[in-house]
Amino acid sequence: MTTSRDKILNKLRAARQPFPDAPPRPKSYMPVTRLEDESPGALLERFTAELERLNGEVFVVDDDAAARAQVLELLKAQDAEMILAWDFAYIPVDGLQSAVEEAGIQVHYPDIHVEARTELLHTLASAPAGLTGADAATATTGSLVVSTGPGRGRIPTVLPRVHIAIITQDQIVPRLESWVAQQRARGLADVLGSANLCFITGPSRTADIEKNLVLGMHGPEQLQVVIKRTL
C-alpha cells in the first residue's frame, strides 16, 4: 500500500529539476550589511560593538594564559561549582580543561540520549554556565555560528543561564554571507555533517508580552565571548 508520504517522496526523487524555469544563482550578491573596513582589527571592533549593543559581553585576551584566567574569572563570578561544556578539543585554549578542573569546578559533557533523560536534564539545569567554542563569528551582526557534532552538543549553549563561548580572532568573518561562501567553497561538508546549525546573536530574548524586553526566556540570559588574539 502506497501512503501519501511515499507518493510525495517518490515525486521529489523523480524530479531532477523541480524548478526548470528558475533563473541560475548569481555569482555574487549585494551585501545585506555594510562594512567599509574588513581588516582584522576592524572586524574585531565591529563584532564587539554589535554584540555589546545586544547586551552581550566581549573579553579580548592576548594568549592562552590570559584566556584561561579570563574564563576562570567569569566562572568565579557565577559561583560555578559545575559547568556544561564541549569536549575541550573544540575549545581553542590550551590547558583550559586542566585549569577548570584544578579550580575545583566539575565539568559535565552532556549526553541526553539515555533512558533517564528527564532526571539528567533536571540535574544539568543546576549548572550556571555552559562553555563552548564556535565555528565562526560574524562582525556586522555580532553573531556566533555554532554547529553540533560529536563532542559539540547543543545543551551547553541553551540550558545554562550563562553561555561562555571562546573563539580566536581569525574566526571573525565580515558577514554571514562570507561564512556561507566559505562553506560553499568546501562543498558544504561541515553544514551537511552537522545535526544542528544555529546563529546565536546575543542573549536569548523576547518581547512578546506587552513589548517588554525580557532576557533569558528561552535560553541563556547572558552571552560572554572570550576572543583570543591570533593576528
CA distance 145 to 54: 16
Domain range for 123 is 36-228
The pTM (predicted TM-score) of the whole model is 0.85
Please give the average per-residue pLDDT across 14-25, as a whole number: 70
**What is the pLDDT confidence band of residue 1, given thresholds at 50, 70 and 90?**
low
Cβ proximity of 100 and 107 under 8 Å? yes
Cβ proximity of 33 and 140 under 8 Å? yes
In the numeric block, which cell numbers belong to residue 109?
Answer: 559533557
Of how many residues is the chain composed? 231
Is the model's pLDDT at 51 over the cut of 90? yes
List 197's β-bridge partners, or say none.
147
Q: Which residue has the higher pLDDT, 188 or 85?
A: 85
Whether residue 1 lies inside any domain: the answer is no
Whether residue 217 lies inside any domain: the answer is yes
Please give the average per-residue pLDDT across 49-53, as a whole number: 97
Whether residue 110 lies inside any domain: the answer is yes
In the numeric block, which cell numbers belong to residue 219?
Answer: 535560553
In the numeric block, which cell numbers belong to residue 35?
Answer: 562594512
**What is the pLDDT confidence band of residue 6, given thresholds at 50, 70 and 90?**
confident
Q: Residue 213 has what pLDDT?
A: 75
**What is the pLDDT confidence band of residue 41, given thresholds at 50, 70 and 90?**
very high
For CA atoms 106, 117, 86, 79, give the dihedral sign.
negative
Is the model's pLDDT at 210 over the cut of 80? no
Is the model's pLDDT at 119 over the cut of 90? no
Whether residue 73 lies inside any domain: the answer is yes
Is the model's pLDDT at 19 over the cut of 70? no
Residue 142 is part of a domain; what is its CATH number? 3.40.50.10420
Whether residue 179 lies inside any domain: the answer is yes
Number of domains in the chain: 1
Whether residue 14 lies inside any domain: the answer is no
Q: What percent of the chain has pLDDT over 90?
A: 65
